[in-house]
Amino acid sequence: MAPKQKSKSWLELKQAGNECFKTGQYGEATAFYDKAIKELEKPSKSNPEDLAVLYSNRAASYLKNGNCGECVKDCNKSLELLPFNVKSLLRRATAYEAQERYRQAYVDYKTALLIDCNIAAAHDGTNRMTKALTEADGPSWREKLPPIPTVPLSVREKLTQQNTVNAAKENSKPQQNSTKQKPAPGDKDAKKGQALKEEGNALVKKGEHKKAIEKYSQSLKHNPVEVTTYTNRALCYLSVKQYRDAVRDCDEALKIDSSNVKALYRRAQAHKELKDTKACVDDLNRLLKEEPKNTAALKLLQEVQKKK
């Protein structure tokens, strides 16, 4: 009789799910998270914080597969266990936005910003929802919103402590290839950088891309670790046909966030214009691992492959 195989721990199942997620196998990731949740829900092992993370991870898998309803359910469970979990708030907001439930999405994006005012995705989401709700409900759209929760001071203090610990860990690591990481800005610089970035965004809307490049460049002097400023400036460089500069900005953005979809897409566009088909295809394939149903990337990939 063959010896009975030892069942995997919830931590091993979670790790297997994470590995599948990284390689774009979202269905398989969901299955591993299912098993991990069942293991951790056993009375002897129950741990609310770890369980909240598992529900949030499974929500991310559902979201990547376009299953917004299940994503919302898992985020709800995660937030019951761990209120003000930023990842769960952002995932639920994205799912709400895809379902065109813009009021609920706005509240989640706004709550995430009340916890941490430096979250670029939450700033962008709030701006998109403001525009959509103004178009739908007119100037009085705020009156129709569900209540925005009050974020306890203890939540913000805990985040500050975590950031301090993480920064200390990063600083203690030996730098690879002598590449120095850019320091995070202080509050004053972060606010100034954000204000200059918003001025740049306003210029982009007017089609004044060269002036916007100047504003984004000034913004980066105050906050050199803001991903969206690099991707926004890359968009402007594309518009004025400075393709090598666009590639450089996307490179910088990807050093900060290696799976940033905008940076991958804009670098692919720049590579296409520079006639570097292989680099263009590589970036699009990387992007499609993150978002398999990204229509813009699929369309560009089709265009480039036709020309091969």
Q: What is the pLDDT of residues 33-89, one digit of tens each?
A: 999 999 988 876 668 899 999 999 999 999 988 899 999 999 999 999 999 999 999
What average pLDDT does the chain have? 87
Describe the crossing of helices 187-205 and 209-222 by its angle, rounded to 10 degrees: 170
pTM > 0.85: no
Report the pLDDT averaged over residues 185-191.
79
* CATH-assigned architecture of domain 187-307: Alpha Horseshoe (1.25)
Q: So what CATH class is 10-143?
A: mainly alpha
> And the tokens for 188?
């004053």
- Cβ-in-10-Å burial (0-12, 13-18, 19+) of 150 comes to exposed
Where are the CATH 1.25.40.10 domain residues in the chain? 10-143, 187-307
What percent of the chain has a predicted confidence (pLDDT) above 70?
Answer: 88
User: Closest Cα to residue 125, out of 81, 86, 71, 79?
Assistant: 86
Handedness of CA 246, 249, 255, 257 (dihedral sign): negative
Give pLDDT, residue 257: 84
pLDDT band at residue 96 under the 50/70/90 scheme: very high
Let me know the angle formed at the C-alpha of 216 by 300 and 170, rounded to the nearest 5 degrees: 90
Asked if the model's pLDDT at residue 175 lies above 60, the reply is: no
Count CA within 13 A, CB hemisphere, residue 284.
24
* C-alpha span between 133 and 154 (Å, rounded): 31
Residue 82: strand, helix, or coil = coil
